[in-house]
Chains A and B, each alone.
Chain A
């Protein structure tokens, strides 16, 4: 059984590493001609090129965008999940279906439909991008928080109130610390939605707001840019990976003292 477990873990690791491996190698190659197994010329040409292509500003835009989306979608998802968990309203199923609809709709349908409305409303492009991405992230934050609230006993809030805590104090000192693991997970998922988005940023943003995925796509559409594309992909993948590790390590420690 231990052998089977080890084999399973190894296969799983390979499953994740293989696609990344090629990119990582390309990021350290100046030239890699077929049929050579390894690059024929090692170097950092791709990094120089991507830096010249405004890699840093694009990463900064991605970071701002994803933080805005996560910051909006997490409390909204938490509020929606709390309502869905405790309401007896007959409209509950309908609201739940509408909240989860963006997951089932083809992104292009949603984005093109939204674009028309947002243009009519003369909404600034960045605000439109944030708004639509927040809607797209909401199903994930709502779903995670729904699972959190299913195992949360609202008696904790009542207990805090009868012990002298105001509604706000009970929220800060009891409710939030207890649902924090769910909030962190929801926030992280919403962050990923913003960080990795291409379609919404391109269509709603009109191509003017260049984020990391847009830069990667632009570079990848040309030929002979493999080192630069690989370098961009590596710097795009690393932040969420580091964050994922940090989140998984921090979560058990997120506690507050009385």
Chain B
């Protein structure tokens, strides 16, 4: 059982507020797909899930399941399950009875419901803990049970509201694997809310970026990374460089030099920002003819096994990741290769974009990860 979810011009306001928390959001989630809803805190991601689940009634727009309008339908009649950041397991029920809850409220006998629950506990590898009280489980185990409980309800659409955010990195990776396994077996339609672009790209087929209640971009993971709709999307996806310059006939001119833009660039001529994926930047020797631009190393820091170098190009600084074993040190001259596939230009809508004397600056976001 799985269904396509469509949000059609969804509008939502909190009581007493004139500013919409969701502003005409249109979103298509095809059958069996997983869409990651990415956005900063307070952007309306969770509200969107609550509207889709029927827990909040939108002020405007429609929620459709396989084309059927369910906007006014009660949450229990929508075929939608929700897993939150907090597992919210019912503390008066044992683990197995939590998973059996949906079957019980549908009228199944306790024996049937528990047998069904065991199958879903198997899927999350926790059948052996079925008789335990939920307090006897670790945080990760509780979230697995919450996932099993949501899936046991047989939802057409599974909504996940930052379910892995509170976990440590190792556990999060395990949960990502588990979600992939569950998707392979049950093929549910999934909407995952997250503010972590790594998580979004690890588990989702597509990423929808929501900022201030507006859906600003929705596309395949690679596309959103490589073709961000604007600087905000680029930053949300971990991009660290937005270099001011001018686009003129598919060429971007800035402190990095003249760079050819991808053939499908839609950036009009005029003041523009060059959005550069720092992961694609490559450090080479200063005299390497392949270098796109040259500068001096002004900072270095460790990031796990890798090192991150700050290469100053006059007034601007580029962040370049280097593999373990690199020997560049502060003060060295270095060249930086900026591959054509790592850049994308968007119109510059910042203040002062029309001021030509102020055009050329590179602004790395120090400390951002």
Measured in the bound complex, the distance between the Cα atoms of B130 and A258 in whole Å is: 13
Chain A: CB-nearest residue to B154: A164
- Report the minimum CB–CB distance from A238 to chain B (whole Å): 32
B311 close to A (CB within 8 Å): no
Contacts of B81 in A (CB 8 A): 162-163
Q: Looking at the assembled complex, report how far the CB atom of B52 sits from the nearest CB atom of chain A, in whole angstroms.
A: 10
Q: Interface readout for A171-215 with B: 1 if CB under 8 Å, 0 if not?
A: 001100110000000000000000000000000000000000000
A163-B80 in contact (CB<8A): no
CA distance A88 to B50 in the complex (A): 19
| Chain B 85-110 residues near chain A, CB threshold 8 A | 86, 88, 90-93, 97-98, 100-102, 104-106, 110
Q: Is the CB of B84 within 8 A of A258?
A: no
A165 at the interface (CB under 8 A from B): yes
| Cα A255 to Cα B94 with chains together (Å) | 11
Q: A153-B88, A258-B97 are in contact. Are A163 and B55 (CB under 8 A)?
A: no
- Does B90 lie within 8 Å of A158, measured CB to CB? no
* Bound-complex Cα distance A110 to B72 (A): 47
Contact with B along A45-59 (1 / 0, CB 8 A): 000000000000000
Determine if B279 is an interface residue (Cβ-Cβ < 8 Å): no
Is A108 interfacial (CB-CB < 8 Å)?
no
Give the distance in Å from the alpha carbon of A255 to the alpha carbon of B133 in the complex.
12
- A167's nearest neighbour on chain B, judged by CB, is B74
Q: How far does the alpha carbon of A235 sit from the alpha carbon of B23 in the complex, in Å?
A: 67
The answer on a CB contact under 8 Å between B16 and A88 is yes
| Interface of chain B residues 48 through 99 with chain A (CB within 8 A) | 50, 53-55, 74-76, 78, 80-82, 84, 86, 88, 90-93, 97-98
Residue of B55, B86, B102 near A164 (CB, 8 A) is B102
- Known contacts A153-B86, A162-B81, A163-B81; is A258 also within 8 Å of B55 by CB? no
Is B149 close to A, CB under 8 A? yes
B153 interface contact, C-beta 8 A: yes
* Chain A residue at minimal CB-CB distance from B80: A162
Q: How far is the CB of B115 from chain A (nearest CB, A)?
A: 13
Contact of B86 with A173 in the complex, beta carbons under 8 Å: no
CB of B367 closer than 8 Å to a CB of A:
no
Q: In the complex where A88-B16, A156-B88, A163-B150 touch, is A257 in contact with B75 (Cβ < 8 A)?
A: no
Instruction: Identify which of A159, A173, A258 contacts B113 (C-beta below 8 A).
Output: A258
Is B325's CB within 8 Å of the partner chain A?
A: no
The residue in chain A whose Cβ has the minimal distance to the Cβ of B97 is A258
Is A113 part of the binding interface, using a Cβ–Cβ cutoff of 8 Å?
Answer: no
Complex Cα gap A204–B82 (Å): 53
Other 12 A-B pairs with CB < 8 A, given A161-B54, A258-B110: A156-B88, A159-B90, A160-B90, A160-B101, A162-B55, A164-B106, A165-B76, A169-B105, A173-B101, A174-B90, A255-B92, A258-B104
**Footprint of B on A, CB under 8 Å?**
88, 153, 155-156, 158-167, 169, 173-174, 177-178, 255-258
**Cβ contacts A to B, 6 pairs, < 8 Å:** A153-B88, A155-B88, A161-B55, A165-B101, A173-B101, A258-B113
